[in-house]
Amino acid sequence: MRQKPLKRLERKITIENMWIYLLSLLKERPMYAYEIRERIRECFGFNTGQVTAYVVLYKLERSGYVKAEWRGQIRRRKYYEITESGEKLLKDGIKFLENLMEKIK
């Protein structure tokens, strides 16, 4: 059984800061929400709630960090793509985490 503080840390770093994982994946290429959720599980090893992922994507879009576009003829999907300001936010977030890890070590 995991200790409570470690479980809390995992939740804070994953689910509660999902934006950094979403932007990281969107830096690779545009993706639709379900695909992003699957890639988070594959790449980072945790599951996201469907609603949670959509809420975070909506907030990122509203803030200008991602842009969305409907694509497809038969099966229309909303694809998300990182913007320049999203790339800057991701870079700043990674730098913050790297600096924090150096201080913790």
Is 0.85 surpassed by the pTM of this model? yes
**Tokens encoding 23:** 């932007």
Q: Give residue 1's pLDDT.
A: 62
Contacting residues for 54 by C-beta, under 8 A, at least 6 apart: 33
**4-104 adopts what CATH topology?**
Arc Repressor Mutant, subunit A (1.10.10)
Can you list the pairs that 60-65 forms with residues at least 24 positions away whose Cβ atoms lie under 8 Å? Answer: 60/19, 60/22, 60/23, 60/86, 65/19, 65/23, 65/89
Nearest Cα residue to 14 out of 43, 46, 39: 46
* Per-residue model confidence as pLDDT tens digits over 20-76: 999 999 999 999 999 999 999 999 999 998 899 999 999 999 999 999 999 988 889
